[in-house]
């Protein structure tokens, strides 16, 4: 296991592109961390700096208290798993697993023991004599994880390891990787663009935005319930959070025919008087009809999608040109008719207000669960 510390770490590529800005973080022994964000936001670059595959342009990076900026990859005690599996096609599963150990000159008996033990953890025992082309995508990915696992390293780095798998295999591998992490205990940094993967696997998540800017670092619970800004609020959660923009007048946000009293969700109303704000709520937080202690909003139903356990309602608030789209999750028993008028409530504890200009959340005292 290992502790990692980043102090103002920056990456500027030789062509001048500044891919990571002031990355600051302390990662504890055995933590499972996901770096999440849209394509090109600097996740892989950060991972590659940890691996020693990219130079750190400025700042300091420590492994177990030792400055590691210039430490060779070999000395970092890492193993990396890539999206492409990177298996040797002409070698069997056994030989793929054994490859690194053979190179290190380890005794055949010891290798045999380690390969068998690793294969057992990953459910690959009966496939050891097969070649990669005779395996499914999920099995190939397991071999790739096995090759990293067999080396008994302190730090596991994974770059989009599940993105070549189908939806069902992804769900299975997600829990397998978590189980492996639990039994092996290596500090793990996992890169993904998929917020569901990040939410389900991580101890903590780092949300990054294009340009290589860290937006927020927190537990899945913190990011879901206490997003610091509009970017994080919109990135975490599926379907995404609803945003309704408007101007504050006399403590109320008015737009799209709404007049929402912001007093229950804003600590200091005078600070936002006259400003543009964004009223926000998650699709799954709404209740059907008018409720007490909640914002009641009437919408027009454009489309409904029955998913089985819930229905997604795509609706508009306001009239014609002056309207905004919202998505609401309701019980299938409450599915409204397309074209009908639908009144729903957003409980005060589920409502957020963001400053439209700074995009930061506006302070409140709400305890969210």
C-beta closer to ligand ADP: residue 212 or 283: 212
Does the footprint of ligand ADP cover residue 50 (CB under 6 A)? no
CB of residue 51 vs ligand ADP: minimum separation in angstroms?
12
Query: Minimum distance between the CB of residue 216 and ligand ADP, rounded to whole angstroms?
Result: 16
For residue 168, count CB atoms less than 10 angstroms from its CB and return exposed for 0-12, middle for 13-18, buried for 19 or more: exposed
**Of residues 43 and 147, the one with the C-beta less far from ligand ADP:** 43
Residues 333-352, interacting with ligand ADP (CB under 6 A): none
Min separation Cβ 43 and ligand ADP, Å: 4
Report, in Å, the least distance between residue 159 CB and ligand ADP.
7
The distance of closest approach from Cβ of residue 163 to ligand ADP in the complex, given in angstroms and rounded to an integer, is: 11
Which CB sits closer to ligand ADP, 21 or 252? 21
Q: Which of 298, 327, 291, 289 is nearest to 310 (CA)?
A: 327
Residues numbered 24-43 forming contacts with ligand ADP, rule: CB under 6 A: 37, 39-43
Residue 205's alpha-carbon distances to 199, 210, 211, in angstroms, are 8, 16, 18
Q: Which is nearer to ligand ADP, 35 or 199 (CB)?
A: 35
Q: Is 215 in the site for ligand ADP (CB under 6 A)?
A: no
Q: Is 72 in the site for ligand ADP (CB under 6 A)?
A: no
Question: What are the residues facing 188 on neighbouring strands?
Answer: 32, 156
* Residue showing tokens 């990915």: 141
Q: Is 45 in the site for ligand ADP (CB under 6 A)?
A: yes
Hey, which bits of 108-179 come out as E strands? Answer: 155-159
Is residue 13 involved in binding ligand ADP (CB under 6 A)?
yes
Instruction: Choose between 37 and 237: whose C-beta lies nearer to ligand ADP.
Output: 37
Using the contact rule CB under 6 A, the part of the chain among 10-18, 226-234, 271-279, 326-334 near ligand ADP is 10-18
User: What gap in Å lies between CA 120 and CA 114, rounded to an integer?
Assistant: 10
**Member of 5, 19, 115, 144 binding ligand ADP (CB under 6 A):** 19
Residue 213 tokens read as 């800017």
- In the complex, the smallest distance separating the C-beta of residue 78 from ligand ADP, rounded to whole angstroms, is 17
d(CA 167, CA 170): 5
Please state, in angstroms and rounded to a whole number, the distance separating the CA atoms of residues 177 and 7: 29
Instruction: In whole angstroms, give the CA distance from residue 195 to residue 71.
Output: 32
Cα separation, 252 vs 87, in Å, equals 60
Helices (H) and strands (E) in the chain — how many of each? 8, 20
- Tell me if 10 sits within 8 A of 61, measured CB to CB: no
Name the site residues for ligand ADP (rule: CB under 6 A): 13, 15, 17, 19, 37, 39-45
């Amino acid at each position: 296991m290992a502790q990692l510390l980043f102090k103002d770490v920056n990456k500027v590529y030789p062509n001048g592109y500044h891919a990571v800005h002031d990355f600051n973080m302390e990662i504890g022994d055995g933590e499972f961390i996901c770096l999440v964000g849209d394509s090109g936001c600097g996740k892989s670059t950060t991972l590659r700096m940890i691996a020693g595959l990219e130079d750190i342009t400025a700042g300091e990076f420590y492994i177990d208290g030792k400055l590691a900026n210039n430490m060779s990859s070999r000395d970092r005690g890492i193993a990396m798993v890539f999206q492409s599996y990177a298996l040797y096609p002409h070698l069997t599963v056994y030989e793929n697993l054994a490859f690194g150990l053979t190179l290190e000159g380890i005794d055949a008996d010891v290798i045999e023991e380690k390969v068998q033990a690793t294969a057992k953890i990953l459910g690959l025992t009966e496939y050891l004599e097969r070649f990669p082309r005779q395996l499914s995508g999920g099995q190939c990915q397991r071999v790739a994880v096995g090759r990293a696992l067999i080396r008994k390293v302190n730090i596991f780095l994974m770059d989009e390891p599940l993105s070549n798998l189908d939806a069902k295999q992804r769900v299975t591998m997600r829990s397998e990787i978590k189980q492996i992490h639990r039994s092996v205990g290596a500090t793990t940094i996992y890169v993904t663009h998929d917020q569901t993967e990040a939410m389900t696997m991580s101890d903590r998540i780092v949300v990054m935005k294009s340009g290589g800017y860290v937006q927020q670092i927190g537990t899945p619970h913190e990011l879901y319930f206490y997003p610091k800004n509009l970017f994080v609020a919109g990135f975490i959660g599926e379907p995404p959070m609803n945003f309704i923009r408007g101007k504050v007048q006399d403590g109320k946000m008015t737009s799209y025919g709404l007049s929402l009293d912001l007093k229950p969700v804003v600590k200091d109303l005078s600070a936002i008087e006259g400003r543009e704000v964004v009223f926000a709520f998650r699709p799954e937080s709404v209740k059907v009809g008018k409720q007490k202690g909640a914002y009641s909003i009437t919408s027009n139903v454009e489309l409904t999608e029955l998913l089985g356990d819930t229905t997604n309602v795509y609706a508009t608030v306001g009239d014609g040109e002056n309207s905004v789209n919202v998505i609401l999750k309701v019980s299938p028993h409450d599915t409204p008719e397309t074209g009908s008028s639908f009144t729903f409530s957003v409980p005060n504890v589920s409502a957020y207000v963001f400053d439209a200009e700074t995009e930061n959340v506006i302070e409140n005292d709400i305890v969210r669960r």
